[in-house]
Amino acid sequence: MKYSKKTIKTGVSFPSELLRNFDKVLKEIGIPSRSQGLQEAIRAFITINTWRIGGEESVAGAILVHFSHDIKGLEEELTDIQHEFTDIIPSALHLHLTKEDCLLIIVVKGVASRIRELTEKIRSLRRIKQLTPILTPIY
């Protein structure tokens, strides 16, 4: 597709409940139009997901890993994986959520492909409850 620098008008379909919620949030945070809200949402979507498709661009952020402390060996496996990626992990924080649940916050900075490799390795453990990368490109 070829795009010019001018604004392009397009149409988008939404489920009514999604649009109702979107309009409510726009009003509550003071965004004056759907167009402006959609532009902000699309920019955020691009920022959040660019690292997934990119290769050599630099990104930084955190990987949140929710897991059960009760699963034998899982915490040690997570630690072993982190040791394989010390080139992109400057820091990590372990939070105790409940007696059973923990949240590991892994701070990352480096090449997108390497961070994607780390997230895939953690996800492959399959015994974690949730993995949420929060990353942004470094320009």
Complete DSSP assignment for the chain: ----SS---------HHHHHHHHHHHHHHT---HHHHHHHHHHHHHHHHHHHH-SS-EEEEEEEEEEETTSTTHHHHHHHHHHHTTTT-SEEEEEE-SSSEEEEEEEEEEEHHHHHHHHHHHHTT---SEEEEEEEE--
Per-residue pLDDT tens digits for 58-79? 889 999 999 999 999 999 999 9
| Domain spans, the chain | 16-53, 58-137
Per-residue pLDDT, averaged over 31-58, amounts to: 84
pTM of model > 0.85:
no
CATH architecture entry for 58-137: 2-Layer Sandwich (3.30)
**Average pLDDT of the chain, as a whole number:** 91
Q: What pLDDT score was predicted for residue 3?
A: 61
